[in-house]
Amino acid sequence: MNTRNLYWAGACAHCHQGRLIFQNDMTHRRLYVHCEECEWGWLHPSDVGDAEKGFLTLLQNFDTGDPTLEEIQQSEWRNYLTGSLRL
Ligand SMILES: [Zn+2]
């Protein structure tokens, strides 16, 4: 069984319950965060506190994967990393 190491960036401004999990958009080669509860997502750290600037990730048509810690640290999200979890 593979374990998934997930990294997250604070709480969701849309539902105020979920954590924002980092995900890779493999299709467009970019990093975004995605709420574990309501599936709301944000592309840029400057928008993450504003629910209206988010999007419903279920409606997006791109391939996703789990980013590594290195990928997060090399992105514009590096200062937003709050914690990690293992699934
Ligand atoms: Zn949410």
Separation of CA 41 and ligand 1 centre (Å) = 8
Q: Which domain holds residue 39?
A: 9-80
Does some domain include residue 86? no
Report how far apart, in Å, the C-alpha atoms of 30 and of each of 1, 58, 76 are. Answer: 27, 17, 10
| Strand partners for 5 | 86
Q: Tell me the C-alpha distance between 49 and 1, whole Å.
A: 36
Q: Decide: 57 and 39 in contact? Cβ < 8 Å.
A: yes
Is pLDDT above 80 for 1?
A: no
Q: Residue 20 C-alpha to ligand 1 middle, in angstroms? A: 8
pLDDT tens-digit series, residues 57-68: 988 889 999 999
30 within a domain of the structure (yes/no): yes
Kindly state whether residue 87 falls inside one of the protein's structural domains: no
Q: Which residue type, as a one-letter code, is found at position 38?
A: C
The DSSP 8-state label assigned to residue 53 in this structure reads G
Which pair of structure tokens corresponds to residue 46? 């400057």
Q: Is residue 3 part of a domain?
A: no
Interval 3-38: pLDDT, tens: 899 999 999 999 999 999 999 999 999 999 999 999
Count of the separate structural domains present in the chain: 1
Compute the distance from residue 18 Cα to the ligand 1 centre, in Å: 5
pTM of the complete model: 0.93
